[in-house]
Chain A
């Protein structure tokens, strides 16, 4: 009882140090636990398999741990491991004849059959990511969160810090939040960073010896690594509408600077018959500013929960996108539920997106044939089932199908010889995920 009083006093004082002391007391097994919500660690884990037809396959494992200290403070830790293998479009267009490309490392080549989208099948990467965040109340209506994130993969690393402050108004029916995030990334691609618009050097027997090939290859490389910095602002408003309904509105601004090209992507340079004459490395702007608007509403019906969100994003690459995302959770017996999911995404092309370059035209200052920068529509349909196990642990299984379709009508005019080629292939993926909470 004495300790209970002490615990309450500590909460009122809102002193971080004292809260940690209280947490330590809880860890030592004292009775602070029951009164102060110094709960046990809560764990959750997720295993994901992602597979695109004929392209990339990925597996991801997520492990999170969180623990409450007192009534308000929360520590959250997260570790993500993912592994990627398979093939990724290299940006070149398909042809009626066999095409040969040099691998990003410069070591070796790969051949692509006629009437086949050129995919580089050497992608293999493993990534580790660690996140930590701490949130607590400054005072009962004012909450802060601070967090850090580190991600490391073979050719990329990212460090970021973020902070958010949220103020509740109107008897806790409205919340205004302000968040900032800074990230510093380093990209060190296999085979180094290629010179923009330099031609891919392909060894087809034209070199006197291997040294001559490497001299030519290295002449297309500028440096072995480069950096990217991202600064973001996120302003949010959350509103409880009535007993069943709440809404959220966000405005976000993200400013990214640095090496924003993809070092592995090329463009085909074609002649008037549509035959590829050259392959050149892409070049994107070295900065990007993006504005986003996001609105979400969530509604509790008698035996189900429905949510729908709309997101609009515009940036100075001239990409505008619209996203509608909706879930409908049907509540069953014993804490089980079924949840269908539907998402629709549409984006316009970046102003420098070009599926290929024409030999007849001057080389532009910026160009990329990355299909992800093109005009496209994508949808996701999914179904999730959640249930509770006998011991109280919970589990969820989710299956999703994602399909991306380029909008050909909005693409640049083609060249006669390309009419029978598939320049804008679709991408589809299956996602299977299992979550476990304990």
Chain B
């Protein structure tokens, strides 16, 4: 199997897993005590994230994924 096909297969499998699982996943509104805490937010440390993105953008060839990839700087 070529690399491209393997990637596609992984993608589709993941997507199906997520979609099939979603209907039974989740909590009622009154069970969100832990999820509602600020430190459980997906990006709970935006300052760190912004700094990490900047550092890795300027030191590595890949960027983005979690958020947009463009760095907006020369970063030599």
- A contact set with B: CB distance below 8 Å: 44, 46, 48, 50, 60, 62, 64, 78, 80, 82, 88, 123, 125, 127, 129, 149, 151, 153, 155-156, 158, 160, 162, 170-174, 179, 181, 183, 185, 187, 230, 232, 234, 237-244, 246-252, 254, 256, 262, 264, 290, 292-296, 298, 300, 305, 309, 311-315, 317, 319, 321, 323, 329, 337, 345, 347, 350, 372-373, 376, 378, 384, 396, 398, 402, 404, 427, 429, 431, 433, 435
Given A50-B55, A254-B68, the answer on whether A372 and B47 have CB atoms closer than 8 Å is: no
Q: How far is the CA of A256 from the CA of B57 in the complex (A)?
A: 14
- A433 with B48: CB separation less than 8 A: yes
**Which label, helix, strand, loop or mixed, suits the secondary structure of the A interface?**
strand
State the Cβ distance, B37 to closest chain A Cβ, in Å: 8
What is the interface size of chain B, counting residues whose CB is below 8 A from a CB of the partner?
46
- A254 with B72: CB separation less than 8 A: no
- A243 with B27: CB separation less than 8 A: yes
- A234 with B68: CB separation less than 8 A: yes
Query: Which residues of B have CB within 8 Å of A44?
Result: 47
- B62 with A181: CB separation less than 8 A: no
Most buried by A among B34, B42, B47, B61: B61
- B31 with A431: CB separation less than 8 A: no
- A158 with B73: CB separation less than 8 A: yes
Partner of A321, one of B7, B28, B29, B60: B60
Q: How far is the CA of A95 from the CA of B14 in the complex (A)?
A: 49
Q: How far is the CA of A50 from the CA of B14 in the complex (A)?
A: 38
- Please give me the residue from chain B that is nearest to A171 by CB atom: B26
Given A314-B7, A321-B61, the answer on whether A243 and B48 have CB atoms closer than 8 Å is: no
Query: Which residues of B have CB within 8 Å of A170?
Result: 22-23, 26
Given A293-B65, A398-B48, the answer on whether A345 and B74 have CB atoms closer than 8 Å is: no
- B62 with A315: CB separation less than 8 A: yes
Query: Which residues of B have CB within 8 Å of A398?
Result: 48
Query: Which residues of A have CB within 8 Å of B22?
Result: 170, 173-174, 239
Most buried by A among B56, B62, B65: B65
Q: How far is the CA of A73 from the CA of B59 in the complex (A)?
A: 36
Digitize B22-42: 1 where CB-to-A-CB distance is under 8 Å, 0 elsewhere: 110111110111110101101
- A311 with B66: CB separation less than 8 A: yes
Partner of B40, one of A254, A300, A315: A300
State the Cβ distance, B11 to closest chain A Cβ, in Å: 7
State the Cβ distance, A263 to closest chain B Cβ, in Å: 9
- Please give me the residue from chain B that is nearest to A231 by CB atom: B70
- B74 with A153: CB separation less than 8 A: yes
Query: Which residues of A have CB within 8 Å of B18?
Result: 237, 239, 247, 249
- A347 with B61: CB separation less than 8 A: yes
| Sampled A-B contacts (11; CB under 8 Å) | A60-B54, A129-B72, A158-B73, A237-B18, A240-B35, A241-B26, A252-B69, A300-B37, A311-B65, A311-B66, A323-B65
Q: How far is the CA of A78 from the CA of B72 in the complex (A)?
A: 14
- B76 with A88: CB separation less than 8 A: yes
